[in-house]
Amino acid sequence: MKDDVRTTGWSPQRNRRSIRLQGYDYSQAGAYFVTVCTRNRACLFGAIVDGQMVLNDAGRAAKQCWNDIPVHFPHVELDEWVIMPNHIHGILVVLDTVGANNYSPLQTNAILRPRGTSKTIGSVIRGFKIGVTKWMRQHTTIHDVWQRNYFEHIVRNDASLNRIREYIANNPLQWEWDRENPVGVNHYSPVGAKNFSPLPKDETWRV
């Protein structure tokens, strides 16, 4: 990951129902593609310059919080991820923790703080959001950072995993056509753009 860079979509304000998959155990081992979006798609974390994401101070704080996830949730590993101007895409890998019941000691100067010992993806995203919000409130005048909830997609095979990895890696290059770009030319990828949508036609976001 380059030093200057590195949830599922965004839930409309009118949609207050849960977007989690009912009955699914989000603490079980596996890979999850998540997208976390800022409130009202505000570009808080930097800008795309010549197809690359350039982080500002808030973006670097978000980067630290994301990198700190395995420190506070040792059962989670980070796969491909990227911080965009107003959202974060990432693949979180939940490890098989049978027999493991201890967490690593927390760093006293870390931004991210855990909330209990829950091992669900929801608790990981909640902790990440809290960490970034704390930094923003301490260093800026912005108090409401995040869109309510987050989106996730359960990665079910290697082909899907590699497709999503490529989508994340190419996300800055596709910013002009990104649905989260508030000033994008449109919400469709240009002719010939590779893997603008990371999911095959028979897979959808869990909403």
Residue 182 lies in a domain: no
* Domain of residue 71, CATH code: 3.30.70.1290
Residue 199 lies in a domain: no
Residue 201 lies in a domain: no
Q: Which residues of the chain have pLDDT under 50?
A: 1-23, 98-117, 187, 189-195, 202-207
Residue-number span of the structural domain to which 166 is assigned: 30-177
Residue 137 lies in a domain: yes
Residue 186 lies in a domain: no
In total, how many domains does the chain have?
Answer: 1
What is the structure's pLDDT at 7? 34
Residue 166 lies in a domain: yes
pLDDT, tens only, 103-118 = 222 232 333 333 434 6
Residue 122 lies in a domain: yes
Residue 10 lies in a domain: no
What is the structure's pLDDT at 185? 55
Query: CA 83, CA 53: separation in Å to the nearest integer?
Result: 8
What is the structure's pLDDT at 184? 66
